[in-house]
């Protein structure tokens, strides 16, 4: 392989911007009679339709395509560009000193004109989504909706809707949005665990903005960890279905279906040298999708189970070093965390986990996929080897806080105050470029931390803030994070009475 080529994991959603980079972030009409029978889930928490029975033989590409294209939507994301000069004014492209170097003195006039204009909303991304319910719930990728102030959803019949975000999960790169519509066509969810390597699949989406595009391929691999392939840092839970169906920017969030027209995955990423399809694409399996969207709808946040171990995949070198002869693959336990589910179940350093409830865990992706299906409080049988002898134990999984309580999305009102962007006169007086002023402090998290009326927040967790919306976005990101870190706002700011002295607060958001 040419060492000069840069291999990128590309989220297949195109961002409309002028920036250049070498690494890119990507990643129904009813079926014909007799294809399968559909039945609605009876429990109130369900979002999706499942196939009640299947034919002996799968249908062809035409039937599968016709039964799915109307269940896939186009999603455009819009936002108002944010940028601030050192004096707190909105920045313009013309404020760049290089503009005047290349275009001469006209930049002064254009800069003044631009500064007088209000920033306008711009399209920042394009992706796809899959309709899950007749009343308008749609699943897509987190990276498709991330940072959006408005989401525009277009159905295959060209009807247009504004969508609201119900919730999203960066760890699995999934999001649930909703439009106000009735009697929509849904794609029934199949079981991704039943698909086999070599099976035909179709990718349905909107690559490059071309709507209702269907491409075909086969399942190339299952439980694929792309970070291991690219030797990069993991962005979260990775247990992809790998296919050779053509997927390109704009396909993100679209459907991967089998020839029965059942959803088996959500297209999320491609592996490419160039940023466009070059042979392999990756989809999030429905075994994970079903769990994530149900949790988001029911709780507002994913209920994520934790085992509480540090681990590595068993390699021939590690097996030789540790004298492991009974198995050749599995998850080697390097450390067991205190007060964890693994500790309670009796797992120890040096154990090799080979299965969870009978499902193999020969690599990281398989382990992640099995645990991603579970919630805190769920029990599972873990098969492992210790001293080259097969053992089993029952584990009760916990949450990131070390208990089995339900995690709920936070309520921004719990901060107990009013937030507003500091005006230009105050910023100039205090000689600062940005800030959010805290007023009307009442009972809440800010008061508990010691924050008083008039305090001006400069940054939170090292992210600069300029408006109450900025604070709310950071709050939501903290509350939706399930990495196990403490939910804390580390705030830097000043009081107008003594602007030369910075003040620091740690605002705990856990109950």
Q: Which of 298, 297, 364 is nearest to 334 (CA)?
A: 364
Whether 143 is catalytic: yes
Whether 173 is catalytic: yes
Identified catalytic residue from 46, 142, 173, 192: 173
SS3 438: strand
What pairing do the DSSP bridges indicate for beta strands 331-336 and 280-285? Answer: unpaired
What pairing do the DSSP bridges indicate for beta strands 174-178 and 137-140? Answer: antiparallel
Integer Cα distance of 105 and 98 in angstroms: 11
Q: What values do phi and psi take at 86, rounded to 5?
A: -65, -20
Distances (CA, A) of 490 to 401, 417, 441, 503, 504: 19, 17, 18, 11, 7
Identified catalytic residue from 239, 252, 287, 340: 252
SS3 343: helix
Identified catalytic residue from 59, 67, 143, 340: 143
For 368-381, b/e burial (b = at least 16 CB within 10 A) is bbbbbbbbbebebe
> In whole angstroms, how large is the CA radius of gyration of the chain?
25
| CB-CB contact of 47 with 294 (8 Å) | yes
Q: Which token pair is 167?
A: 């919730």
| CB-CB contact of 366 with 360 (8 Å) | yes
| CB-CB contact of 22 with 8 (8 Å) | yes
* Host H or E run for residue 475: helix 468-480
Matching residue, tokens 């007086």:
429
Integer Cα distance of 506 and 155 in angstroms: 45
Integer Cα distance of 458 and 421 in angstroms: 10
Whether 185 is catalytic: no
Active site residues per annotation:
143, 173, 252
């Amino acid at each position: 392989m040419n060492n000069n080529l840069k291999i990128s994991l590309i989220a297949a959603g195109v961002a409309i911007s002028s920036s250049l980079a070498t690494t890119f972030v990507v990643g129904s009409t009813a079926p014909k009679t007799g294809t399968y029978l559909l039945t609605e889930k009876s429990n109130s928490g369900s979002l999706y339709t499942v196939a009640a029975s299947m034919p002996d033989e799968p249908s062809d590409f035409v039937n599968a395509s016709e039964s799915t294209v109307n269940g896939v939507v186009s999603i455009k994301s819009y936002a108002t560009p944010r940028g601030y000069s050192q004096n707190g004014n909105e920045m313009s492209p013309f404020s760049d000193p290089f503009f005047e170097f290349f275009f001469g003195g006209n930049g002064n006039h254009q800069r003044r004109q631009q500064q007088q204009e209000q920033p306008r909303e711009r399209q920042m991304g394009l992706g796809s989504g899959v309709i899950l319910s007749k009343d308008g719930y749609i699943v897509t990728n987190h990276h498709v909706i991330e940072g959006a102030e408005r989401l525009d959803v277009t159905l295959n019949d060209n009807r247009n809707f504004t969508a609201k975000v119900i919730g999203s999960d960066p760890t699995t790169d999934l999001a649930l949005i909703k439009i106000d519509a009735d009697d929509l066509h849904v794609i029934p969810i199949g079981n991704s665990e039943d698909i086999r390597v070599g099976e035909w699949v179709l990718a349905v989406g909107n690559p490059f903005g071309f709507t209702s595009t269907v491409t075909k391929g086969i399942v190339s691999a299952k439980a694929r960890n792309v970070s291991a392939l690219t030797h990069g840092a993991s962005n979260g839970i990775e247990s992809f279905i790998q296919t050779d169906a053509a997927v390109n920017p704009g396909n993100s969030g679209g459907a991967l279906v089998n020839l029965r027209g059942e959803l088996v995955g959500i297209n999320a990423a491609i592996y490419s040298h160039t940023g466009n399809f070059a042979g392999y694409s990756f989809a999030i399996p429905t075994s994970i999708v079903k769990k994530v969207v149900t949790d988001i709808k029911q709780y507002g946040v994913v209920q994520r189970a934790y085992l509480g171990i540090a681990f590595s995949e068993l390699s021939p070198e590690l097996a030789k070093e540790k004298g492991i002869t009974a198995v050749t693959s599995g998850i080697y336990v390097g450390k067991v965390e205190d007060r964890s589910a693994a500790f309670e179940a009796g797992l120890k350093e040096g154990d090799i986990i080979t299965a969870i409830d009978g499902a193999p865990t020969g690599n990281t992706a398989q382990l992640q996929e099995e645990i991603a299906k579970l919630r805190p409080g769920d029990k599972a049988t873990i098969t492992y080897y210790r001293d080259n002898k097969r053992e089993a134990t029952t584990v009760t999984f916990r949450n990131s806080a070390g208990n089995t309580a339900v995690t709920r999305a936070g309520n921004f009102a719990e901060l107990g105050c009013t937030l507003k962007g500091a005006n230009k006169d105050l910023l100039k007086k205090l000689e600062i470029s940005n800030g959010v002023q805290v007023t009307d402090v009442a009972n809440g998290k800010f008061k508990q931390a010691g924050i008083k009326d008039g305090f001006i927040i400069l940054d939170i967790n090292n992210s600069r803030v300029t408006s109450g919306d900025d604070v709310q976005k950071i709050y939501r990101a903290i509350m939706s994070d399930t990495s196990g870190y403490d939910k804390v706002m580390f705030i830097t700011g000043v009081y107008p009475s003594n602007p030369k002295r910075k003040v620091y607060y740690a605002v705990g958001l856990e109950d």
